[in-house]
Chain A
């Protein structure tokens, strides 16, 4: 049984819940016992109720007469602007997969075609060197000869035993 003492925090919470009709039966009975025994608790209830009632002086605003029409008009406007701003639904991607695939294939074909074209038109310097290799190997001998006519005359003179050694046709 509570005497005329300060209420605990739990009791204060229960007191407010009791006034709001939110307390269960057991706790309500306990609070009633506290109130019966404690003038402080009774004073507390009076003040809590009094200050709560003071909130009734606050003006209760109501919506303007055209609120419903205005709201419906706003909604109609919002619906129209949504249709204009977002003609596509969110589930539609900006770049469909099909379009991306076509573009990728086109790029790959272009790259391969470009490779073959450049390979055929521009001569490879290494290939020329390979073709001219026999001449290059004998270049030091050819450089001793002034002209092809001189070499032919020399062959006809039969001064050398092996005429084919220089591979002259």
Chain B
């Protein structure tokens, strides 16, 4: 049980996910299962944006959780749990990219639909949402354009943009994840947004 004095000395102990991780440290596997359930979509989401491969994104997300579990004994709450988790994800993504660079592998493109064309459930979704096929095509085209724009950014810019845009993280949190000062994050994000602007400006509606 965490006491008020302990919380005063370490404010991260207030984080409920830190509390869950401390329970994992004591051998509580249900607590670990809860953490996986809470963060699975965010982990898969960020790897999908980075790698454009849904299957590989799941594998990497699983790898992150495996690393978390393996380091449970040495775990010390020195940050919010989410910051610690995304830091592991960032390191893993960097390793994967370095490995890919060495092997000169080509990333697989994510198929929006199956090999036989648009899936029935997707067709139903399109119809339900009232999107006409041309509008859907426009949307796919825009998605491809934005994805390409994101790919023009370097690895660090991409990660900072994803954390800021989709995880709503502060410069301080991004800095902790990427081992940078908040001032450096500010500069990094400014350059990233300038680069995005160059590619996307003429496609703004």
Contact = CB atoms under 8 A, between A and B. Distances in A.
A74 interface: yes
**Interface size grouping (class) on chain A:** 20 to 34
A57 to B, nearest CB: 5
Contacts of B182: 22
Interface stretch (A13-21, A93-101, A120-128): A13-21
A144 interface: no
Given A20-B189, A61-B57, A51 B197 contact: yes
B36 A60 contact: no
Given A20-B164, A54-B146, A62-B44, A67 B58 contact: yes
A75 B190 contact: no
Interface in A56-87: 57-64, 67-68, 70-72, 74-75, 78
Interface in B39-54: 40-41, 43-45, 48-49, 54
A74 B62 contact: yes
Contact of B36 (A20, A48, A71): A71
B142 A57 contact: yes
A150 interface: no
Contact of A16 (B32, B41, B139, B193): B193
Nearest to A16: B190
Given A55-B165, A58-B146, A64-B58, A75 B66 contact: yes
A152 to B, nearest CB: 101
B33 A72 contact: yes
Contact of A57 (B36, B146, B194, B201): B146
B18 interface: no
Contacts of B139: 57
A70 B62 CA distance: 8
Interface string A17-56: 1001010000000000000000000000001101110110
Contact of A54 (B40, B58, B194, B200): B200
B65 interface: yes
Given A16-B186, A63-B58, A51 B166 contact: no
B128 interface: no
Contacts of A71: 36, 40, 62, 65-66
Contacts of B190: 12-13, 15-17
B77 to A, nearest CB: 21
B61 interface: yes
Interface string B133-162: 000000100110011011000000000010
A12 B194 contact: yes
Nearest to A70: B62
Contacts of A13: 186-187, 190
Nearest to A55: B165
Nearest to B197: A51
A20 B186 CA distance: 10
Interface of A: 12-13, 15-17, 20, 22, 47-48, 50-52, 54-55, 57-64, 67-68, 70-72, 74-75, 78
Q: 4 smallest A-B Cβ distances: which pairs?
A: A61-B48, A63-B40, A13-B190, A51-B200
17 contacts: A13-B187, A17-B189, A20-B189, A22-B170, A47-B197, A52-B193, A54-B142, A57-B143, A58-B143, A58-B150, A61-B41, A61-B44, A61-B54, A67-B44, A68-B36, A71-B40, A72-B29
